[in-house]
Amino acid sequence: MAEAKEKAVVESVTLSDGRTVEFVGKRKMLKETIIDDKHGHVDVRLDFRNGETRTFRIPHGLFHKFAGHGAEQKLGDETAGVEDVEDMVLAIDDLIDRLSKGEWSTKRESSGAAGTSVLLRALVEYSGKTTEQIKEFLSGKSQAEKLALRNSPQLKPIVEKLEAEKAAKGSKVDTESLLASL
């Protein structure tokens, strides 16, 4: 029987500005963005486990640089753990769509994009629909539903063919020449 996971230690710390915050586990610093729409300020507050706190107001002259950096980070984080470049593109397209709708936080299943590019191409081939129509169709599907589609009797042969083509393209070895010399 597996042992129960130990609960992380929570330490309450009174900060130099009088606030009390909780640090969980080994966390040494907490970060918080404070947006003041009325005055047009954005501050980042950093609270340290030793009781110190610092607040940084983003200077107006650097505002766009900070915004760009944050966007780069947000978009880049979306592809963490995704190996296939085509899957990365789909994950970024999905995030851009969500952000354009004002959705900052949406629960993403781990490796949610993995294998989606092959599934998308298989569905395009199978249905004759456009890539955009298939993206729309897949947008609401869970990873389990996508996996079920990939393994369906109708799509599995197409998926296997596309994956074989992809593997052949990625190979640095000329298998045709090797087989021809057989």
Kindly report, residue by residue over 30-64, the tens digit of the pLDDT: 999 999 999 999 999 999 999 999 999 999 999 99
> Is 146 part of any domain?
yes
Claim to verify: residue 90 and residue 156 sit in the same structural domain = yes
Q: Domain containing 81: what range?
A: 74-168
Claim to verify: residue 129 and residue 83 sit in the same structural domain = yes
Claim to verify: residue 52 and residue 130 sit in the same structural domain = no
- Angle CA 74–62–19, to nearest 5: 75
Which pLDDT belongs to residue 153? 92
Claim to verify: residue 51 and residue 100 sit in the same structural domain = no
Do 58 and 42 form a contact (C-beta atoms < 8 A)? yes
Provide the number of structural domains found in the chain: 2
Which amino acid is located at 151 in the chain? N
Over 80: is that where the pLDDT of 65 sits?
Answer: yes
Which amino acid is located at 80 in the chain? A
